[in-house]
Amino acid sequence: MRITIEKAAELLNAGEVVAVPTETVYGLAASLKYPQAISQVFSLKGRPSNNPLIVHLSSSADLSRYAHNFPPHTFELTKIFWPGPLTLVLPAIIEIIPETVRARLPTAAFRVPSHPMAQKLLSLTGPLVMPSANLSGSPSATDPMHVEADFGVDFPVVDGGSCTQGVESTILCWQAGKWVIARLGALAPESFFSVLGYCPQVVDTKQGAKSPICPGQLYRHYAPKAHLILTKRTPDNCQGVLIGFSDRHYPGGCRLLSLGDSQIPEQAAERLYAVLRQLDQEGIAEAWVDVDLPDEGLWLTLKERLSKAALDF
C-alpha cells in the first residue's frame, strides 16, 4: 500500500513499521522510541537478534546525543559524506540506544541519508532504525515493488521510485587505531583517502567470527533462489540466462539480463538487485554472471555482493 510521508510519520509515531526510500536501498523503518516496533522489524525480516540495526538521523548535529568518545576524523567524515551513503560505527550512549538495536554491543551504527523523502520523514519522527526492506538473506529492495514482493501488497510503503545508488551504505568502523571498512558499499574505499590520508582496508569478516566486527556480514545475503555461476569467461556453449553488460559480446545461445555498460559501475549498482530479483520473478533456476571486472572502486562492492549472492549455504 503506497502511503504519503505524512501518513508514514503518523504510523511511525504510533509505533508501527513502514518501508521508506533512501538513496541506497529501501529501509524497513521503526522509531527508536518504540521497542515493540524495533522487535517487529526483526521478526518481519526474519533477522537474527544478534545482527544490529543502523540508526538513521536527520542531521549530523544530532550525533552527540547518541554517541560519544568519537575516534579521530569522525567529524571530518560526517562533514564530507553526510547526508549520504556512509555508516559509521561509534561508541554508543547505551542509556539512549536500546540493547536490541545494538545487539548488546557497546557500539551503534549511524547514518544520515540524503534521500529527500527520508530526510523529510526523519524531521517528522526523530531517529529511525532501518535495515534494508527485504526478507533476511534475499536481495535488497530498490523499488517499492520489491518491498511488496517480500512483505505483501498491503504493507505500507512510501513510494520514492527506484533508488539512485542501488547498493547499501559503506560501513566504517574504528579498529586498532584506524578506520576499516566493515561492509563495502556505495562509497568506494578510495573516496576516503582525501579525508583520512589512507584508504581504509576491507576487514575479513570471517576472521573474527566469534566477535565479528560487522555481525550482518556473517549471514547469507543478497541471494536469489536461482543458483548463480560467476565466471570471468563465458563458455562458448553457454545456454540459458547470463547477467552481464550491454557493451560486451556473449555467445549467441544465452539470454542477457543487462547490468548496463561495463564502463559505468554506478549503472550496474543501480540495477543489481532488480536483476537478481527478476531471476526469481521469472522462476529461473540458474544464471551465469560475468564478473570479469576491475578490482577497484565500486566494482569491489558489486563483486562482493555477487559472490555473496552466489553462495549456497
Q: How many residues sit close enough to Mg ion to count as binding (CB under 5 A)? A: 1
Q: How many residues sit close enough to ligand TXA to count as binding (CB under 6 A)? A: 31
Q: How far apart are CA 311 and CA 66, in angstroms?
A: 36
The reply to whether 215 sits near ligand TXA by the rule CB under 6 A is: yes
Report what 310 binds from ligand TXA, Mg ion, none; CB cut-off 5-8 Å by kind: none
Stretch that binds ligand TXA, among 1-9, 163-171, 224-232, 259-267 (CB under 6 A): 163-171
> What CA dihedral angle connects 37, 39, 42 and 45, to 10 degrees?
-50
Is residue 118 a contact partner of residue 20, using CB atoms and an 8 Å limit?
Answer: yes
Q: Which of 89, 181, 226, 309 binds ligand TXA (CB under 6 A)?
A: 89
| C-alpha cell recorded at residue 62 | 544530532
Stretch that binds ligand TXA, among 72-80, 166-174, 233-241, 299-307 (CB under 6 A): 166-174
The reply to whether 287 sits near ligand TXA by the rule CB under 6 A is: no
> Contact letters (x/-) for Mg ion, 116-155, by CB under 5 A?
----------------x-----------------------
Smallest distance, ligand TXA to C-beta of residue 131, A: 3
CB-nearest residue to ligand TXA: 216
Q: How far apart are CA 108 and CA 118, in angstroms?
A: 20
Is residue 306 a contact partner of residue 232, using CB atoms and an 8 Å limit?
Answer: no
| C-alpha cell recorded at residue 144 | 517499492
Q: How far apart are CA 136 and CA 222, in angstroms?
A: 8
Count of beta carbons in the 10 Å neighbourhood of residue 305: 24
Report what 178 binds from Mg ion, ligand TXA, none; CB cut-off 5-8 Å by kind: none
| C-alpha cell recorded at residue 149 | 514482493
Q: Which one, of 313, 291, 312, lies nearest residue 303 by Cα?
A: 291
Smallest distance, ligand TXA to C-beta of residue 127, A: 12
Report what 182 binds from Mg ion, ligand TXA, none; CB cut-off 5-8 Å by kind: ligand TXA
Q: Which residues in this chain contact Mg ion in the complex, by CB under 5 A?
A: 132
